[in-house]
Chain A
Amino acid sequence: MSAIDYSQFVHTREGLVDRRIFSDPGIYKVEMEQIFARAWNFMCHESQIPDVGDFFMNRIGDDQVIVVRNKQKGISVLLNSCRHRGAAVCRAEQGRAKTFMCPYHGWSYGLDGALIGVPGLREFYRSDLKKNELGLGQAAQVCSYKGFVFATMDPAAPPLEEYLGEVGRLGLDMLAERGEIEVVDGIQKNILDCNWKIAVDNLFDWYHPSVSHLSAVQTGFLADLSSGDALRPMQQMVMLGEYGHAIGGPRTTLAELEEIRTSRAQVRPTLAARAEDAPRLEKIMGRAGVRSLGHPNIFPNVWITLEGTQLCLRLPRGPQQTELWWFTFVPKHAPEWLRTAIVQMASHLFGPAGLLEQDDGENWQQCTRASVGTLNRRYPAYMGMGLGHDRVTRDGGQACIETVVNEHGQRWTYQAWSDWMMAEDWQALKTNHAAPPTDVV
């Protein structure tokens, strides 16, 4: 049991969350240890590093990691810090390398992280250096789910598929089951002054668009959005999974998917593709899953969005700073018009210049800023929408909540946060985390 009782900050039964968790430096440091150093963290898509030596720089918590295709064609996830004095051995955010040589004293490492070269090994170290004990720090487990590469620093973490569970796998399937896909070159990255959890909380939030994004809606830029069709405040579906994974957002019907396929395939190409493939997808994603147009979060910080065309990481960079990284996916053999449509829609909606996202950062910074104030902190954040009013039902054996706009996904995320912060280790987390609800929520 940790010294501080983190459950005191989260009262999901009252729908209250203590604002201190959005800015306290001490809590942030514990999050790095208890959440990010234990979780399976999204690293990249395999299409980004197809050949030996290809690398992509990412982060696990506060630390930079090199995600690299090694000589065995596997993927190594290496801490980007020389074992001699700690300088970064790789200074580019992507590229191709034969080895990683530290530019400080020249220690060099293989693509698997092994220390292979030390200048002056014989003359200065007198051959007295245990090279095999001085490889780069690396992930305890690296695993790919249908091309999506994850890594965990914790050897005791359950295997990736078990960690994801039904809901986490479904979330990734929304992207992964669109046929053979690849990342479009260019990851949009920006940093803003908000706590990472406020950005995560927002992805389940179908309450904010009609106010936060009113200006974008009023331009008529998205016909579906302007009519309220895409948002469906009265037709929502939520799925709550193990370890904090969740999906929340609009729901559809197979009949409607079919209607989109026959009459609006050019406007909603990804949904039309889902309709085309419905019988197969239903077997993989489930009867409820195939009807979900919601936003999954793979706990802690992986958002899959826009009908499964993009993935956004919310990377913590301090208690009051977060980086947003957008990965955009297209079917590998997509016709030119479809590729262009997906790529342009992505930059028009999201990323720092996106018509939607411009206004999000503005609000999230205000939420974070207010959590610092001694007086403001006396008033917890309120997230009680729908609390106690909904029930988990089953569709083809899959648990889901069919309801109106709600805050089930947010409460579930903060409950998981509390469980992770309290658990001493993975064994304790496996035993002592909230089980997905089966009745009233």
Chain B
Amino acid sequence: MAPTLEAMLLQYEVEQLYYAEAALLDERRFSDWLALFTPDAHYWMPIRRTVMASDLENEFTKPGAMALFDDDKTLLETRVKKLATGYSWSEDPPSRTRHIITNVRVLEQNGDEITVEANFHLYRTRLEADEDSWIGRRRDVLRRVDNELRIAERSVFLEQTLIKSRNLSNFF
């Protein structure tokens, strides 16, 4: 299908949102980052399991089952508040992070909401030489509010089953 100007503009808008979001996280401007989410936002990272090909429907836990993140906006605010206390030892000294966002695809448009998938690489170093790296896929529902795109749902699917880091103290 030939690209339409409208689709290209939307693609551009979504990509710019993600680049700006990545910069906010890497600059540790967490309060500004929170403002990108709608008040009813849900932030979710299911648990992934190593399963046989015949059992792939059970690879990720389902909504309502156990997850690594299962947060509403209030809990996201709590996480940000925690980081600002000055006693959040896992992030003080602060981690150095870099969010790389690629392969952005607008999958669906439904009124004010659009569903977008993107790939990410979150790279973190800590203290002298600790290093973590998470690659995965994000599936967002973005909602247009006052002519701005806001994140109403974020699902994060990591390419790890056993989480290979001491914690997940950063945002994806």
Contacts and interface: CB of A to CB of B under 8 A. Distances in A.
Interface in B21-65: 45-47, 49-52, 55, 58, 61-62, 64-65
Given A93-B50, A215-B89, A362-B89, A187 B66 contact: yes
Contact of B66 (A96, A185, A363): A185
Nearest to A362: B90
Q: Which of B49, B51, B161 has the most CB of A within 10 A?
A: B49
Interface residues of B, number: 40
Interface string B82-96: 110111111000000
Contact of B162 (A189, A340, A347, A362): A189
B70 A355 contact: no
A343 B85 CA distance: 26
Interface stretch (A13-21, A144-152, A190-198, A232-240): A190-198
A361 interface: yes
B68 A352 contact: yes
Contacts of B85: 214-215, 218-219
A197 B164 CA distance: 19
Interface string A149-188: 0000000000000000000000000000000000011111
B135 interface: no
A11 interface: no
A84 B164 CA distance: 31
A221 B167 CA distance: 19
A351 interface: yes
B165 A190 contact: yes
Contacts of B162: 189-191, 323
Contacts of A328: 66
Given A215-B85, A216-B82, A221-B78, A347 B66 contact: yes
Given A219-B81, A352-B168, A353-B167, A186 B51 contact: no
Contacts of A184: 65-66
Contacts of A355: 78-79, 82
B161 to A, nearest CB: 7
Contact of B62 (A185, A192, A219, A346): A185
Contacts of A343: 64-66, 70
A340 B64 contact: yes
Interface in A337-395: 339-340, 343-344, 346-348, 351-353, 355, 357-359, 361-363, 365
Contacts of A346: 66
- Determine chain A's interface SS by DSSP, over half rule: mixed
A343 B46 CA distance: 12
A328 B163 CA distance: 17
A96 B52 CA distance: 9
Contacts of B70: 343-344, 347-348
Given A92-B52, A96-B55, A353-B68, A189 B163 contact: yes
B82 A215 contact: yes
A279 to B, nearest CB: 33
Interface in B87-132: 87-90
A361 B90 contact: yes
B51 A95 contact: yes
A99 interface: no
B68 A193 contact: no
Contacts of B79: 355
A6 B167 CA distance: 33
A143 to B, nearest CB: 26
Contacts of A357: 167
B20 interface: no
B16 interface: no
Contact of B164 (A96, A191, A194, A348): A191
A252 interface: no
Nearest to B49: A93
A280 B129 CA distance: 54
Contact of A218 (B58, B67, B71, B87): B87
B69 interface: yes
A212 interface: yes
B133 interface: no
A216 B81 CA distance: 9
Contacts of B58: 94-95
A91 interface: yes
A216 B86 CA distance: 11
Contact of B82 (A96, A219, A326): A219
Interface of B: 45-47, 49-52, 55, 58, 61-62, 64-71, 75, 78-79, 81-83, 85-90, 161-169
Given A192-B167, A361-B167, 17 more contacts: A95-B55, A186-B66, A188-B66, A189-B47, A191-B162, A191-B163, A193-B166, A215-B89, A216-B82, A221-B78, A328-B66, A340-B64, A347-B69, A353-B167, A355-B82, A358-B169, A362-B166
Interface of A: 91-96, 184-194, 212, 214-216, 218-219, 221, 323, 326, 328, 339-340, 343-344, 346-348, 351-353, 355, 357-359, 361-363, 365
25 contacts: A92-B49, A92-B51, A93-B49, A93-B51, A184-B65, A185-B62, A186-B47, A186-B65, A191-B162, A192-B165, A192-B166, A194-B166, A215-B83, A215-B87, A218-B85, A326-B66, A343-B64, A347-B67, A353-B167, A355-B82, A357-B167, A359-B89, A359-B90, A362-B166, A363-B89
